[in-house]
Chains A and B, each alone.
Chain A
Amino acid sequence: MSNTTKDWTAQIYAIRDKQDQAAFAELFAHFAPRVKGFLMKSGADASLAEECTQEVMATLWRKARMFDPSRASASTWIYTIARNRKIDALRKQRRPEPEDLPWGPEAEPEQADAIGLKQETEQLAVAIKELPEKQRSLIEQAYYGDLSHSEIAEITGLPLGTIKSRIRLALERLRHAMK
């Protein structure tokens, strides 16, 4: 299993349920260098990126209760925490966030939903890796904040259009293979 598709749910639940520092250390070893790398590519200098990374990881611990594996993979969830910290630190403006969903984080998520979402995220990672180099780097630039809105407008047909249809194709193929 590659790192991209590793499932970190057990570690996050261990933090949520028993404040498990060993589980947190595992998450830290994997995600902290990625969060810091992401923040530096987004324009933070090394010391700001270091400071923000520690805050992002501390937020992960504090918000472990809010993690819902049927709605987001660990990497998606941690990305949104890092993205929010980036807006606070680099853009220095308020960051309006959508309301929480009615079922909230208290209810235990459906196992089947979590598995479906995990498969989808894996497919998404593969689909992005398989994009032509130029398209992939445009997507990366969009997330690092290197593209203007009109440039983003030119590529947004891509992630949802191309990637979603690729996911659909990959799932079809998978279903055929299992028949």
Chain B
Amino acid sequence: MNMTDTIKHHLTPEILMAYSAGTLPEAFGLIVATHVSMCDTCRSDLDSYDAVGGVVMEDAKLANVSDDAFAATMKLISSGDSTPLTPRRSSGTLPSPLQDYVGGDLDQIKWKPLGMGVKQAILPTSKAATARLLYIPAGAAVPDHGHNGTEMTLVLQGAFVDEDDRFARGDVEVANEDLEHTPIADVGEDCICLAVTDAPLKFNAFLPRLAQRFLRI
């Protein structure tokens, strides 16, 4: 899955640190795990944040473990599952963490039309944030919109361009309240993205409020 050389837009330090600390809502955890599967730069930064966590744990105030803790742990070990672990690697378009949520690769995604050829599939995560796959036909646009919170978009296939820059496979765009944009897919190939939001998007023209609530955009 590695394709580091071509990735120009990475995860932010705060999101990597929060992933390392284990405090992110599930949907953001999913986009981090997916991007890190594709990007050596962010994997190495994440390793550094995990090392900081290791130091914090080393320096934690010691807690007394119970007298029989060691024996109880040995019992857990002997009663536990001993199936050998095999490395997780995806050979498809979607990295493994995403395949776990889709139940397979691209052909298993259950798309729902949003109009103008744009389709989405919402993935099952905890309610604190929403993860969705977006399908934008080559040359088509996602309706112009602003953001109430944070929106992170990871390109999985094709590329899109907006007011900010061009984003291709592996690139992440982080948008917040300050950015209003109209992402347009490159003409060459249909664009598929993973988009994660912690608040509903603000569409300027296309969708009435009711439809927005119904479609969970």
Interface residues of A (CB under 8 A from B): 3-4, 21, 25, 28, 32-38, 40-41, 46, 49-50, 53-55, 57-58, 61-63, 65-66, 71-73, 75-80, 82-84, 86-87, 91, 93-102, 104-105, 120-121, 124-125, 128, 139-140, 142-145, 147, 149, 152-153, 156-157, 159-160, 163-164
Contacts and interface: CB of A to CB of B under 8 A. Distances in A.
Interface of B: 1-2, 12-14, 16-18, 20-26, 29-30, 32-34, 36-37, 43, 45-66, 69-70, 72-74, 76-77, 80-82, 84-85, 87-90, 95-97, 100-101, 125-126
Contact of A124 (B13, B51, B65, B76): B51
A104 B33 contact: no
Secondary structure at the A interface, as helix, strand, loop or mixed, is: helix
A49 B62 CA distance: 12
B96 A80 contact: no
A79 B97 contact: no
A128 B53 CA distance: 11
A40 B47 contact: no
Contacts of B32: 96
B58 A34 contact: yes
B77 A128 contact: no
Contacts of B88: 97, 99-100
B50 A25 contact: no
B61, B63, B125, B126 — most chain A CB neighbours (10 Å): B63
Contacts, number: 210
B54 A163 contact: no
Contact of B56 (A84, A143, A160): A143
B133 to A, nearest CB: 14
18 contacts: A3-B58, A32-B69, A33-B63, A33-B65, A36-B64, A37-B62, A54-B73, A58-B80, A72-B51, A78-B54, A79-B53, A98-B34, A125-B55, A143-B20, A143-B56, A147-B23, A152-B23, A160-B45
Contacts of B20: 83, 143
A139 B56 contact: yes
Nearest to A150: B14
A165 B36 CA distance: 23
A121 to B, nearest CB: 6
A99 to B, nearest CB: 4
Contact of A37 (B24, B61, B76): B61
B64 A94 contact: no
Given A63-B85, A99-B96, A156-B14, 15 more contacts: A37-B61, A49-B63, A53-B65, A54-B73, A62-B81, A65-B85, A71-B47, A93-B125, A98-B95, A101-B87, A120-B51, A124-B55, A142-B17, A143-B53, A143-B57
B58 A159 contact: no
Given A79-B57, A99-B97, A160-B49, A34 B18 contact: no
Given A125-B55, A143-B52, A98 B97 contact: yes
A156 B58 CA distance: 20
Contacts of B24: 149
B73 A145 contact: no
B69 A53 contact: yes
A28 B59 contact: no
Contact of A40 (B63, B87, B125): B63
A145 B23 contact: yes
